[in-house]
Each structure stands twice: as C-alpha cells, then as structure tokens.
Structure 1
Amino acid sequence: MAEPKWRAAEEYGFHHAWTYDHLGWRTLVDGPWFGAVPTLTAAAMVTSHIRLGTFVASPNFRHPVPFARDLLTLDDVSDGRFTLGVGAGGAGYDTTVLGDKPPLPQERTARFAEFVELLDQLLVKDRTSWQGRFYAADEARSAPGCVQRPRLPFLVAANGPKAMRIAAKFGQAWVTTGPPTEDIEAWWRGVRTLSEQFSETLATEGRHTRVHRYLNLDSAPVYSLSSAQCFQDAVGRAAALGFTDVVAHWPRHDGVYAGSESVVEEVAADVLPVLGH
C-alpha cells in the first residue's frame, strides 16, 4: 500500500491497518511486492495513532530470533502501535522459493507452535536460550524490549483446534478466515461455528482475560467493499457473532479485491460514524 493510503486509512477513522507478510502471494506473485517490515516502518512514520500490523507473519521464511529484532524496532518506531498478526502459513510460493520442501500439515502446526512460543519469550525476556525441534536460541538478547509491556500484542490466526489452542495461550486477539466455500450463507454459518469452537477452547485452556476477535471479511465469497451497504451488513453480522474487529482489503484496480476507492470514502463518511468509530 502506497504512503498516501496509510495516511488515508488513519484520516478516514479506521482503527487498524495491515499488510501481508509474504515473499509473493498467489496471482500477485509476479507483480510489485514490498517487504512487510520496511513497509510498516514507513507507515509508522506517516501516521500517528492508527494501529499497524502484519496480516499475517508466518514461519514459512522467518526465524524467531532475527524477526524479534524487527518486531522490537517496529514497536519502537510506531511508539507502541504495532500488533503482530501471526499464522501457521499455507502452501504456496513462500514455502518453495527458498528451495525447501513444503512442510506436511502436522509439521506446519508443530512449527507454528514453536515459532509463537519462542517469539513470546524473546519479546518478554532480556535473554533467551531455547531448544525445539524446528527452532533454537542461544543467549538471544532483546534490549531494549517492547514499548508495549510485557510485550507487543499477538493476533493469532486459527481455524483448527491446535492453532486455536495456540491463540488461547499466547494471543491477545484471534483472527479467522472462516471456512472455504463459495456459498455466502454457508460461510457465515461456518464463522459462527468457529467462533463457538474458540469460546470452548478458551474455557478449556482456562483463559479468563479478554481476547479480541477479528474476522477477515474478504475470505467470504463476496468482497466486503463491493459497496458501502455490503460492508455495513457484513460488520453487523460479525458483531452479532461476537467479533470485536473486522478486516477488509483496500480496493485494487483489477484482479483480486477489484473495486473502487470511492466505496472506502463512502464507508468512512456514512458507515464508520454509525458503527461508533
């Protein structure tokens, strides 16, 4: 997203703005693509209060030790406005571009669990020594620590039970994409089921502090910003299911998420004030 769009997201009154953390993504892999960390650093320099984050970082091409340094820097540059969105990562370009074989599904989840646990320790402790199957750290330093204490918040992506347990243990927020389907009503039913499952996971894990709930509206078969009314309806349905936040994609000229920026302007003018922003 270009610099003016970050400013616009803040001026329009949105609460948070995100960028993908990939080396390339789906049909856009051959187009322009910028790194998440420098992009968010630039965004932090041209905004003052909107929260910024990765949507989402994954272990596919990152190691927790150097990544923790980047996260500390983002938290500092943004003056405590950064949220780490993190997920297990899926199949695709990120899993093959480094020349490695894509991990099996069970390996991906196990690696994700280590990734999040080690990041948690690196961002809280002054020094971390840790050994796992996929990652290790030896006397890793973390001065000066996070601006946000005890560390910057984690938004953990989870649709399955194992990932939900990771979100319940380490997340200050949980995000879901809902189920894969081309039926919009089936998608909303699936979202309801996932929300109920996450509530059960929180209870099972003994998590009593509040965990914010995010919904990726554009995993639905209908683009949320196809019109202002479509966005308003989707936000209302998400709120009714207990979601505290939603994420929508800035319209593109063509291809995936094709739409008009005039819809964003209409949402900012007519919808956000009604939603209590």
Structure 2
Amino acid sequence: MTATPPPAPAPASPRLGVVILPQERWAQARHVWRRAEEYGFDHAWTYDHLAWRSLADEPWFATVPLLAAAAATTERIRLGTWVASPNFRHPVPFAKDVMGLDDVAGGRFLLGIGAGGEGFDAGVLGPAPTRGERTRRFEEFVEVLDRLLTQPVTEHEGTFYAAHGARMHPGTLARPRTPFVVAANGPRAMAVAARFGQGWATYGPLFAPEDVEGPVGAAQEAWWAGLAEMVAQFRETAARLAPGGVVPNLYLNLDGAPVYSLESVDTLVEGVERATALGFTDVVVHWPRAEGIYAGSEDTLRRGLAALGR
C-alpha cells in the first residue's frame, strides 16, 4: 500500500473565494460581482442548478450567461461553477461553454464539477439515476470533458455519452486546459478528483446539527473532525492516483459546517484558521443573503475580510 504523504505545510494565508447565488437580475448582480473583486477575493463562484432547495420558487438565473457577464465586468478575480454536474450537462456542448467562458474571462475560468446531487431539481430532465449510476456517469463525464478540452477532435462512444467528430477549435487560453476543481466526498469520486483535478472541493462531512447530540458547538467539532478524516483520505488517494503523486489544491466551502461562516467575524476567522491548519489552500464562503439560508450582513463580511488582512 502506498504510504500517505505527510500534510503539506499549511499556507500562511489561503486564497479566499465566495459563492454568489444566481438570484438577482444582472442590473443588480453586476455590482455584487464587482464588489467581490474589490474586496480582494481570489475567486468567485455560482451554482449550476435549474432550481435549488428552499429557493426553488425564487428567482434563479442560468449559470453560463451569468458567468460570462461577470467575466466581462471584472478584471482579476477568477470565476467558476460551484459546481456543474451531469445532472444538467452533456460534455460536448458543455465543453464549448467552458471554452467560451475561458475566452471571455481571459483564462480566469475555473471549472468546478461534481457528480450531481439528489436534490429538488435532480429529476427535472427525467428519472434521477441511482447513486451507483450517478458515480459511473460522473467518471465518464469528467474523462470525456478532459479529452474534449485537450485535443482538437474527439471520438467517444461510452455508456452514457457519445462524441463523434467533436471539434474544439481554438481551444482554451488556459493550458493545457481550464483547471478542474472536482467536488468529491466518496472514494470513487475522490479518485476522479485525484486523476483529473487541479483542485479537490468539499463541503466536509454531510450531516446536520440535529444529527449530533448536544449543542451546535458539538456538531461543529464533529464536522471538523470528520473533515480532517476526509482530508487524510483524499491525500492517500492522490498519492496513489494523481499525476506524479502531487496532491491537488484543496478547496473547502466553510458553509458545509453547521454554523454559517458569516454568523460573526470570529466564526469566519476561526473557520479560515482551522481550514489552513488542515492544509486547505482555498477557502470559500457564501455572499450573505437578506433572509433564509446564508442570511447575514455585508458588513460582517467586510469586517471579517479586514480581520483576515484583506
């Protein structure tokens, strides 16, 4: 068995990212994306869904045109999908979208991809696959996307997808292709992240505060303990499967924790510090909403960034 490499030295300051939900018309949303860049975030993301959970009956805009507009109105910040999935995407037309976003963004685009969940919109295009089918579909999806974005013409006939004479001229500005940030919690998806990803993304262990006996603080500690185990598992997987055994960048969305990262300045600072200690190179939060999920204030965000030296 390949020995698990020791954790890489924790970076002095991880890169910071923010998820901006696609809920506002562009006339308003463009100011949020610009502020994300002005605040010094290193990357900004949006979800790739048709509708989402408790917000299913609220406004929800399409991902690709939103990111293209964000790319045209920003200059430095990297932009990405958190995360695209085969629930709604076929690799051939989606590879064209990725190439187009990379072009508009001048090579700043990050492709966050995952297997797809079982949530509200998983069955919009037809019966949702079983978990096993979803994992196998994801493996093929990522492999075909990788081929499409690294060669001019692709032929493929697989279990889930076909590509015949699929042309990708002129290719992406990013070389050898747009970086993949692969969301993965289970062993097979982690293997995909290790083989194809320039980054591994996670929300941490999936459980709610009520799943843990005691106060929310106990759930928070259980979440961090579970996250540490996941990091060790991914490092071992990357040591076996990643090209050259090099561990990809590690992306943590802090809002997988039982407590929203922008509940207070202290919560944000503590979360970033603990993620850094586990070796995460990138930490992501959600832009605060007025109410409901991720409810918070932009003032807390601003003061938290200041406390982190941003």
Unaligned runs of at least 5 residues, structure 1: none
Query: 3-state SS of the aligned residue for 1:34?
Result: coil
The residue type paired with residue 44 of structure 1 is A
- Asked if 1:139 is matched to 2:176, the reply is no
CA distance in 1, matches of 2:205, 2:93: 33
Cα deviation 1:104-154 (Å, max 9, x = unaligned): 000000000011000000001100001110011001000010000110000
Q: Give 1:241's match in structure 2, choosing from 259, 278, 299.
A: 278
CA distance in 1, matches of 2:198, 2:96: 20
- CA offset at residue 210 of structure 1? 4.3
Cα deviation 1:176-230 (Å, max 9, x = unaligned): 1111232111100010000000011011215423410001100110000111111
1:201 match? 237
- CA offset at residue 92 of structure 1? 2.1
The residue type paired with residue 250 of structure 1 is W
CA distance in 2, matches of 1:110, 1:272: 43
2:289 match? 252
Aligned residue runs from structure 1 range 1-277, under 5 A? 1=20, 2-98=29-125, 100-181=126-207, 182=209, 183-207=219-243, 208-273=245-310
The residue type paired with residue 159 of structure 2 is R
The residue type paired with residue 88 of structure 1 is A
CA distance in 2, matches of 1:150, 1:178: 29
Query: 3-state SS of the aligned residue for 2:166?
Result: strand
CA distance in 2, matches of 1:139, 1:101: 29
Structure 2 length as normaliser, TM-score?
Answer: 0.86
CA distance in 1, matches of 2:134, 2:272: 31
Query: 3-state SS of the aligned residue for 1:185?
Result: helix
Task: Kindly indicate whether the alpha-carbon contact (under 8 Å) linking 2:250 and 2:281 is maintained by their aligned counterparts in 1.
Answer: yes
Aligned length: 272
Task: Kindly indicate whether the alpha-carbon contact (under 8 Å) linking 2:235 and 2:247 is maintained by their aligned counterparts in 1.
Answer: no
- CA offset at residue 93 of structure 1? 2.8
Task: Kindly indicate whether the alpha-carbon contact (under 8 Å) linking 2:181 and 2:201 is maintained by their aligned counterparts in 1.
Answer: yes
CA distance in 1, matches of 2:305, 2:278: 23
Query: 3-state SS of the aligned residue for 1:72?
Result: helix
- CA offset at residue 61 of structure 1? 1.2
CA distance in 1, matches of 2:206, 2:195: 26
The residue type paired with residue 50 of structure 2 is L
Change (3 A) 1:260 1:206: closer
Query: 3-state SS of the aligned residue for 1:14?
Result: coil
Structure 1 length as normaliser, TM-score?
Answer: 0.96
Task: Kindly indicate whether the alpha-carbon contact (under 8 Å) linking 1:61 and 1:94 is maintained by their aligned counterparts in 2.
Answer: no
Task: Kindly indicate whether the alpha-carbon contact (under 8 Å) linking 1:23 and 1:93 is maintained by their aligned counterparts in 2.
Answer: no
CA distance in 1, matches of 2:163, 2:238: 29
What is the RMSD computed on CA atoms of the aligned residues? 1.0
The residue type paired with residue 273 of structure 2 is G
The residue type paired with residue 179 of structure 1 is P
Unaligned runs of at least 5 residues, structure 2: 1-19, 21-28, 210-218
CA distance in 2, matches of 1:36, 1:134: 23
Looking at both structures, which has the greater relative contact order when contacts are Cα pairs under 8 Å and sequence separation is at least 6? 2
Task: Kindly indicate whether the alpha-carbon contact (under 8 Å) linking 2:262 and 2:296 is maintained by their aligned counterparts in 1.
Answer: yes
Give identity over the alignment, percent.
58
